[in-house]
Structure 1
Amino acid sequence: MTSSDVPLDVRGVTTALSDAGVAGVTISWADNNGIPRARIVPVAALPRVAEVGVGVTPLFAVFDSSDAITFAHEGLSTPSGDVRLVPVLERLVRLAGQPALAWTPGRLVDADGGPWPYDQRAVLERQVEALAAAGLTALVGYEMEFGVYAEGGPDELVPAHPGPAYSPHALVAVDGFVADVLRDFAANGLEIGQLHAEYGPAQMELSLAATDPVTAADRQLLARQTLRAAARRHGLRLSFAPLPATAAAGNGWHIHSSLWRDGHNLLAGTAQGPGADGAAYVAGLLRDLPAVAAISAPSIGSLARLRPGFFAGVYAVWGVENREAPLRYVPGTSLLGNDHANIELKTSDASANPYLAVAALLAAGAAGVAEGLRLDPPVQSDPGSWSAEERAARGVAALPSTQAEQEDALRTNPRVTAVLGEELLGAFLAVRRSDAAAADGRSPDDVLAGLRWRY
């Protein structure tokens, strides 16, 4: 990078932060396990950091979910080298819940400031550019489920609220936390659609308003930071893990998306489904769903969460408002407007890198539009309640249920692998294999306990 790339007002931003009592800036990104990583720099150093970034090891691309480094990927097989983490200052916010800090997402570039093939945010930026070249834009929004627990021993899960599911009474026990979440989200520029006690014990959910894809991924990371700071102030612990324990409710981080052309939502249609282009978008997602899910729900915990009857989306189908379908079409209504229509990907969770997950989803759907794919009729019941013969007769298969099956689905899908590129795909798969090897021979509860607080 050169000084011409530094925003003209960076010194003014630095002065304003310092005058407001901000001591440092957290520059955050997500690794190939969906785990946020960060560097904090003194606020006075921000003008220089905006120009040249800060040094980090390229091996973050091959950290696995337990922070072990795998050298199995040839492109990152030694401890040597350095890359630069550059703040995206147009996304900088002062953290309401951590007033001595500001926060910004970061880009990873090579040592000379050029593109680095393992930078996940750049993958999504390129996919957005590809949509624009085809005359398309997208809106993306997240639903985030998480468990809220009181402080306990390292292996304890002490529910912080008693339920009942979806009841206002449940959240009285964590009223101060809820109030801080609402205030801090607003102050940090995060628009909440709704917040409530979810179905599982100690579980909550909030939804983030839809926005452009890169902003949606950035805000998902900022939402995590905001939630954790609010929880800490009230002596609470949050688990974003796909499945905190085998007896716990699974946490999905569902991705809602819509595709637009010339101001028109292609997902708009009727209560039975979208119009032709929107149907092609859904058909593209359905065709590539095993490969997309290998990125959007990639961890051992993700696979453990995929249980029939738990609204997790085990079988590769789409449905209209069918919560057992991994692709749930949400139609517009006369109350909300036809342009409210979107498709929800339920096989998505916190162990996904949000930039990669959204990029894979958009690429798969856009390919369906480009090819004019036709969409089979929706499935409106739970395929898990059918016999194996009924599923076979209707051509309904389960999504991959092991790391090896996910890898095969991803490797054999040219559209999704092209989104990642050869280098990043290699690192991503090396990390998945490292996780699988670490889990081999251990009990499910032991593996899940190790992931419980990681995300």
Structure 2
Amino acid sequence: MDESTELPSSAPLSASPVPAQSGVANDPLAPRQVASAADARRIVESRGLTHVKVGLFDNDGIMRGKYMSREKFFSALDHGFAFCDVVLGWDVQDQLYDNARYTGWHTGYPDAPVRILPETCREVPFENGMLLFLAEFSGAAEAVCPRALLRRVIERCEQAGFVPYGALEYEFFMFEETPDSARAKGFRNLKPFTPGWFGYSMIRNSVHADLYHEILELAERMDFPIEGLHTETGPGVLEAAITVDKVAAAADKAALFKTFIKILAERRGLMATFMAKWSNDWPGQSGHIHLSLRHRDGNRSAFFDGGQPHCMSETQRQFLAGQQRLMPELLAMVAPTINSYRRMIPGFWAPTDATWGVENRTAALRVIPGSDKSQRQEYRLGAADANPYLALAVALGSGLYGIEQQWQPGPPVAGNAYADTQPEALALPRTLWDAAQRLKQSEAARDLFGDAFVEHFAASREWEEREFRRHISDWELQRYFEII
């Protein structure tokens, strides 16, 4: 079911504890204690590593990277390194955009500068002490780099006096398939890891406890700890709620979670997919986002006001209004694939309009009343296929824009949001192409994210739509071949 009942903790919304374990006994510090270039050098030297892993995330949230020699890595800590900017100019199948301004054949696909982020150091558990460091583009490429984009939105939020916290929860399907077997079957008649409808199954998580334990251990060791893990309703589908953290760290954790769940599955002879909707027969897969703000001065919740209805402060109402009003304009960044729009149909737990409600899972935005420590809201439009950096940039940036503009939300939905008639202004685009056009036309998007990013990302979504239209589907052949 495209629903979550496993919520982020009601504990204080502060950074989650980092794992203390280290893969090497004589480490001067654990990987998640690395905070500087000097620390990074110390831990690499103490492990005697000749190479480390360095990775970054592209437009679609796919991790790209390589092994880097120790000498080159040490130099890059101080001076950065060069990475071909084609990873910002191709799609999920490594096909080159023909409509992007930032990079393309017209630029020759040059190298772009990249900075290493020492504080992102993690151990890769199944590589004998190997360390992984995240990086992000700098220089001109920074304008279109997803991680850098989120960082700029966070800085704008902090300048307004707030510290943002977030957590993501993902549904993903597991199959008894390999990349080769799935392709040999044409991605049809795939065998799910478990059969049938069986949400929250204690039987399944006990029978397959070894897999669950591996997922939980991986998450702890790589510092994207999981607060809740259970079967969802559908064959082979699991849901994981990642522990709350500051938004920048929450994005890294979500992006690493998606990457390494796939890696863990394939190492076990399985496959995991985060497609928004892989089958007409089963519900879609969500990537819900929980957000809250705390005041930088005093560390008080900016959302909680016990004297107001549903404990919603004026700041939370304005934040909610920004998310609601801008959702149709920014949808392409949250629903970034053709497949995203297969999920957004009535009755399948995915919103179709920019609605909000209090503890209402049929609405696009769900207000969750609580205390100073737990008052928050859930951006339920998010799907599992979204780039976590961009999804969080939208959810946070649009709310912040509402605070800046002092907007007020429309009336909440009571009951079934699918049956509630909404103003046309709250209707969400129904196709990726339409969503890309709304993004290009959005003044708020250009204000929040910059012209360069909006133009580049909208072009990449237009490319995705055109690639789709070049192909003939099975449905078209079955419907028209004989009869028309």
Pairing 1:288–2:326 present: yes
| Aligned amino acid, residue 324 of structure 2 | L
Structure 1 residues 203-223: Cα deviation after superposition (integer angstroms, max 9, x where no partner): 111111111111111111221
Of 128, 141, 155, 1:99 maps to 128
Cα 1:325/1:442, change in 2 over 3 Å: farther
Q: Quick check: 1:88 aligned with 2:124?
A: no
Indicate yes or no: 2:476 matched with 1:438.
Answer: no
Distance 1:376 1:397 in 2: 10
Change (3 A) 1:158 1:42: farther
Matches within 5 A, 1:27-46: 27-43=54-70, 45-46=72-73
Query: Which stretch has the larger CA shift, 202-211 or 403-412?
Result: 403-412
- Aligned match for 1:363, one of 397, 405, 414: 397
Match for residue 268 of structure 1? 304
2:443 to 414, 439, 452: 414
Structure 2 counterpart of 1:451:
none
Equivalent residue, structure 2, for 1:136: 162
Counterpart of 1:76 in structure 2 is 103
Gaps of 5+ in 2: 1-34, 477-484
Do the aligned partners of 1:310 and 1:324 also contact (CA within 8 Å) in 2?
no
Deviations 1:138-158 (A, max 9, x none): 101100110011124322421
How far does residue 408 in structure 1 lie from its aligned partner after superposition? 2.6
Number of the residue aligned with 1:250: 284
- Over residues 234-283 of structure 1, what are the superposed CA-to-partner deviations in whole Å (9 max), with x where a residue is unaligned? 22110011112333331111111112223222222467362211111101
Following superposition of structure 1 onto structure 2, how do residues 204-219 of structure 1 map, counting pairs within 5 Å? Answer: 204-219=238-253
Inter-partner Cα distance in structure 1 for 2:454 and 2:290: 24
Which residue does 2:22 correspond to in 1? none
Q: How far did 1:432 drift?
A: 0.6
SS of corresponding position for 1:72: coil
Residue 303 of structure 1 corresponds to: 341
Tell me, yes or no, if the aligned pair for 2:59 and 2:145 is still in contact at 8 Å. Answer: no
Residues of 1 paired with 2:263 and 2:92: CA distance?
A: 22
The Cα offsets for residues 152-200 of structure 1, whole Å up to 9 and x where unpaired, read as: 4322421112351111112344322111011111112222110000122
Share of identical aligned residues, percent?
24
> Structure 2 counterpart of 1:131, which letter?
C
1:159 to 175, 192, 196: 192
Regions of 4+ moved over 4 Å: 394-397, 443-447
After TM superposition, the structure 1 = structure 2 runs for residues 19-58 of structure 1, keeping only pairs within 5 Å, are 24-43=51-70, 45-58=72-85
- Give the distance between the partners of 1:181 and 1:445, measured in 2 at CA: 36
Q: Which of 308, 317, 335 matches 1:279?
A: 317
TM-score by length of 1: 0.87
Cα offset for 1:23?
5.7
Letter of the structure 2 residue corresponding to residue 440 of structure 1: R
Structure 1 residues 153, 17: closer, same or farther in 2, change over 3 A? same
- Quote the residue 1:453 is aligned against: none
Matches of 1:11 and 1:142 in 2, distance apart?
A: 32
Name the count of aligned residue pairs. 428
Q: Is the 8 A contact 2:300 2:372 kept in 1?
A: no
**Greater alpha carbon shift after TM alignment, 139-148 vs 157-166:** 157-166
Pick closer, same or farther for the CA change 1:442–1:305 going to 2, 3 Å.
farther
Q: Give the equivalent residue in structure 2 for 1:423.
A: 452
Please give the alpha-carbon distance, in whole angstroms, between the structure 2 residues aligned to 1:430 and 1:273.
41
- 1:377–1:264 CA distance, 2 compared to 1 (3 A): farther
Deviations 1:429-451 (A, max 9, x none): 1211111011115466799xxxx
Query: Is 1:223 the equivalent of 2:223?
Result: no
